Chain A
Amino acid sequence: MNRSSLATGLMFISPCLVGLLVFMVYPVVASFYFSFCDYMIFDSPRFIGLDNYGELVNDPLFWTSLYNTLYYTLIAVPGGMLFAFLLALILNMKVRGMAFYRTIFFLPSIIPIVASSVLWVWILNPQYGLVNMLLIRLGIPNPPGWLSDPAWSKPALILMSLWGAGGTLVIYLAALQDIPVQLYEAAELDGAHAWHKIRHITIPTASPVLFFTLIMGLITSLQYFTQAYVMTSGGPGNSTRFFAFYLFDNAFQYFRMGYASAMAWILFLVIVVSTFLVFRFTGKYVHYAGR
Chain B
Amino acid sequence: MKQAVQKSVLAHVLLVVLSAVFILPFLWLVSTSLKPDAEIFREGIHLLPDRPTLSHYLKGIESYNFPHFLKNTAVICFLSVLGTLLSCSLAAYGFAMVNWRGREISFYVLLATMMLPPQVTMVPVFMIFRELGWINTILPLVAPCFFGNAFYIFLLRQFYLSIPRDLIDAARIDGCHDFRIWANIVLPLSKPALATVGLFAFLYAWNDFLGPLIYLMDEDKYTLSLGLAMLRGQYFSDWGSLMAVSALMVIPIIILFFFTQKTFIQGIKTTGLTG
Contact = CB atoms under 8 A, between A and B. Distances in A.
Interface in B95-115: 95, 98-103, 106, 109-110, 113, 115
Interface string A247-258: 110011000010
Contact of B147 (A9, A16, A121): A16
A23 B94 contact: no
Interface residues of B, number: 92
Interface of A: 1, 5-6, 8-13, 15-20, 22-24, 26-28, 30-31, 34, 87, 90-91, 93, 95-97, 101-123, 128, 130, 133-134, 137, 163-164, 166-168, 170-171, 174, 209, 212-213, 216, 219, 222-223, 225-226, 229-230, 244, 247-248, 251-252, 257, 260-261, 263-265, 267-268, 271-272, 275
B87 A219 contact: no
Given A93-B8, A110-B203, A164-B275, A226 B210 contact: yes
B265 interface: yes
A212 B99 contact: no
B216 interface: no
Given A95-B8, A111-B254, A122-B243, A31 B117 contact: no
Contact of A24 (B24, B91, B113, B242): B113
Nearest to A111: B250
Contacts of B242: 118, 122
B98 A9 contact: yes
Contacts of A23: 121, 125, 144, 147
Nearest to B93: A12
A194 to B, nearest CB: 9
A9 B254 contact: no
B209 A226 contact: yes
7 contacts: A12-B182, A27-B128, A110-B264, A166-B22, A167-B275, A251-B123, A272-B115
Contacts, number: 267
Contact of A118 (B118, B246, B269): B246
B100 A20 contact: no
Contacts of B86: 15
Interface stretch (B59-67, B163-171, B189-197, B223-231): B223-231
Chain B contact residues, majority secondary structure: helix
A128 B32 CA distance: 11
Chain A contact residues, majority secondary structure: helix
Given A95-B11, A114-B228, A119-B243, A5 B147 contact: no
Contacts of B45: 130, 133-134, 137
Contacts of B226: 114
Nearest to A13: B94
Nearest to B89: A12
B95 A13 contact: yes
A115 B209 CA distance: 11
B25 A108 contact: yes
Contact of A170 (B110, B123, B210, B269): B269
Interface in B191-244: 203, 206-207, 209-210, 213-214, 224-226, 228-229, 232, 239, 242-243
A69 to B, nearest CB: 12
A171 B228 contact: no
B40 to A, nearest CB: 7
A110 B229 contact: no
Nearest to A108: B22
Given A16-B110, A168-B274, A212-B272, A104 B250 contact: no
9 interchain residue pairs of minimum CB distance? A19-B147, A167-B274, A12-B94, A16-B148, A9-B100, A27-B124, A27-B121, A16-B91, A30-B124
A119 to B, nearest CB: 5
